[in-house]
Chain A
Amino acid sequence: MKTIPTLGDILQAQGVSRRGFMKYCAATASLLALPPAMVPRIAQALEQARRPSVIWLSFQECTGCTESLTRSSSPTLEGLIFDSISLDYHHTLQAASGDAAEAARHAAMEENMGQYLVLVDGSIPMGNPGFSTIAGISNYDMLMETVEGAAAVVAIGSCAAFGGIPGANPNPTGAVSVQDLVKDKPVVNVPGCPPIPMVITAVLAQFLTFGQLPELDIHGRPVAFFGQTIHDRCYRRPFYEQGKFAETFDDEGARKGWCLFKLGCKGPITYNACATVKWNAGTSFPIESGHPCLGCSEPGFWDKGGFYAPLSTGNFGSGGKLAGAAVAGVALGAAAAVAGRRRQAKYTKEA
């Protein structure tokens, strides 16, 4: 196996000061949702870390997940590619194409046997291998061949994690998720349509820093980011507790920033970090922009009824529990909070 320089070696060669490195470590701690007191330990681990080889496979997808990653601000994608990971194969970002690209994938697999990470975006069609191929290889064959020598697999986006839109009813291609096929390797799901870019980089940073994968919930999602519902951390939550709801997109409640539950917000049953990590370098998230949460990081979100139908009408299988409670917002707030915390405790316990 080739000798891989440590991250400390690389940064030193680039003339990055210790201050710069400490700053990088502070950002990494923040990214991993770790307390700032962990920064010295992260610094110690990162100095000795060696760049993992990463092979990124794109199957039935829209490239939105790659778009999301290229918008990641912490650390920068450039930093990730050149400093923290060795991105050896990615259709969209690599310069090589055709046979040269496939040769790069095979070379990365051979040189890093048992050590490399496989990132997958998109679902895998099982109905007919010809539905989606790369260099004449079916998605299924490429996935199974590539994961054979991998240390772990990260399913990026709801398509790779749960089947997503290609797998939505009537699922014409017979799309399945990565975890439906890969049974003998650790699989981390980072769902979302697209997923929050910082969560993608956080999983890589955790692997890089501590050489291990993050703690996962029952859906294989990192607990640090998917341990609480959008609703639990929503800044509009006080309005929910007070029973103040927007009834339409242009009424007084909407203008005053009241709770969007009655406009179909799936925040109470959606586990994700949008409310704290936010999007576009921390600018905002959908609810902050006045739009209900679609629940895109939950399994089967596409087939769970209207996006604008309140949960109390029975979508997402929660209607029975929540029906009528929206009328009495205070009661609903208390009940949903208890339910949310129970679920969170259960996830943490079972993970």
Chain B
Amino acid sequence: MTLKDPIRSPIPFSRGNVRPLLNEIIHALDRLLDDDEPTVIDLASLPFAPGELEELEQTLGTGELTAELDALGKSFIRETEYPGVWWVEHHNTGGEVVGRYIEITRSPEILMSQDADVGAGRARLRDSFENSGPELNKEAGK
């Protein structure tokens, strides 16, 4: 065992909701690799028993990448220890969970910079650049 080996959590299949989900994730990974087709599983629609959601989260573990988004409340996005399988959790401004998903994709859409935001940011930066003092303009080669 090396430091690069992930620490795997035990998989206690105690009730039965986690195992079918893992199977669904395996098939979704097949579709991602074979057809480049992403999948989103909405966990809110599943009747978890007490502790099963935690069991699922523990089973999938934490991988190399974790991100936090702050837009209309926090969102926590992390790749699980299985690359391509992402745990995405949206919270509202009160901190309550408003959506919990497993995304099987190369990168969740919510992480991408959106064109509308990019455009607005460019306009803001251009405005700031054009209205900034001569020293900054000089430094920028204007």
Say yes or no for B140: interface residue by CB 8 A criterion. no
The contact string, 1 if C-beta is below 8 Å from chain A, for chain B 90-125, is 101110111101000000011000111100000000
- Given the contacts A27-B98, A238-B16, A281-B97, A288 and B50 also touching, CB distance less than 8 Å: yes
Whether A17 and B114, one on each chain, are in contact in the complex, defined by CB atoms closer than 8 angstroms, is yes
- Given the contacts A18-B117, A27-B90, A74 and B45 also touching, CB distance less than 8 Å: no
Residue of B nearest to A36 (CB): B40
**Chain B neighbourhood of A33, CB < 8 A:** 45
- Given the contacts A35-B42, A276-B47, A20 and B72 also touching, CB distance less than 8 Å: yes
- Given the contacts A26-B90, A284-B50, A73 and B98 also touching, CB distance less than 8 Å: yes
Whether A26 and B47, one on each chain, are in contact in the complex, defined by CB atoms closer than 8 angstroms, is no
**Chain A neighbourhood of B41, CB < 8 A:** 36
Give the distance to chain A from B25, nearest Cβ to Cβ, in Å: 15
Say yes or no for B80: interface residue by CB 8 A criterion. no
**Chain B neighbourhood of A30, CB < 8 A:** 42, 44-45, 98-99
Query: Which of A26, A76, A276, A277 touches B93 (beta carbons < 8 Å)?
Result: A76
**For chains A and B in complex, what number of residue pairs have CB atoms within 8 angstroms?**
92
Query: Which of A16, A75, A79, A276 touches B45 (beta carbons < 8 Å)?
Result: A276
The contact string, 1 if C-beta is below 8 Å from chain B, for chain A 14-29, is 0011111011101101
Alpha-carbon distance between A16 and B71 when the two chains are bound, in angstroms = 7
**Chain A neighbourhood of B94, CB < 8 A:** 73, 76
Say yes or no for A37: interface residue by CB 8 A criterion. yes
**Chain B neighbourhood of A234, CB < 8 A:** 47
Whether B97 and A20, one on each chain, are in contact in the complex, defined by CB atoms closer than 8 angstroms, is no
Whether A16 and B72, one on each chain, are in contact in the complex, defined by CB atoms closer than 8 angstroms, is yes
**Chain A neighbourhood of B17, CB < 8 A:** 235
Say yes or no for A282: interface residue by CB 8 A criterion. yes
- Given the contacts A30-B42, A235-B49, A275-B47, A23 and B114 also touching, CB distance less than 8 Å: no
Query: Which of B45, B49, B101 touches A26 (beta carbons < 8 Å)?
Result: B101
Whether A281 and B117, one on each chain, are in contact in the complex, defined by CB atoms closer than 8 angstroms, is no
The contact string, 1 if C-beta is below 8 Å from chain B, for chain A 272-291, is 00011100011010001000
Whether B98 and A276, one on each chain, are in contact in the complex, defined by CB atoms closer than 8 angstroms, is no
Alpha-carbon distance between A18 and B115 when the two chains are bound, in angstroms = 8
Whether A23 and B90, one on each chain, are in contact in the complex, defined by CB atoms closer than 8 angstroms, is yes
Query: Which of A19, A74, A235 touches B114 (beta carbons < 8 Å)?
Result: A19
Give the distance to chain A from B111, nearest Cβ to Cβ, in Å: 9
**Chain B neighbourhood of A18, CB < 8 A:** 114-117
**Chain A neighbourhood of B46, CB < 8 A:** 276
**Chain A neighbourhood of B62, CB < 8 A:** none
Alpha-carbon distance between A277 and B97 when the two chains are bound, in angstroms = 12
- Given the contacts A30-B44, A276-B46, A284-B50, A75 and B98 also touching, CB distance less than 8 Å: yes
**Chain A neighbourhood of B69, CB < 8 A:** 19, 23
Whether B72 and A24, one on each chain, are in contact in the complex, defined by CB atoms closer than 8 angstroms, is yes
Say yes or no for A233: interface residue by CB 8 A criterion. yes
Alpha-carbon distance between A257 and B42 when the two chains are bound, in angstroms = 26
Residue of B nearest to A33 (CB): B45
Say yes or no for B15: interface residue by CB 8 A criterion. yes
Residue of B nearest to A78 (CB): B93
Give the distance to chain A from B134, nearest Cβ to Cβ, in Å: 30
Alpha-carbon distance between A281 and B75 when the two chains are bound, in angstroms = 16
Give the distance to chain B from A312, nearest Cβ to Cβ, in Å: 24
Alpha-carbon distance between A275 and B50 when the two chains are bound, in angstroms = 11
**Chain B neighbourhood of A36, CB < 8 A:** 40-42, 101
Query: Which 6 pairs of residues, A with B, have the shortest CB-CB distance?
Result: A20-B71, A18-B114, A36-B40, A235-B49, A74-B98, A73-B96
Query: Would you mind naming 13 contact pairs between A and B with Cβ atoms under 8 Å apart?
Result: A17-B71, A17-B117, A18-B114, A18-B117, A19-B69, A26-B90, A27-B90, A35-B42, A73-B94, A74-B92, A76-B92, A76-B94, A276-B44
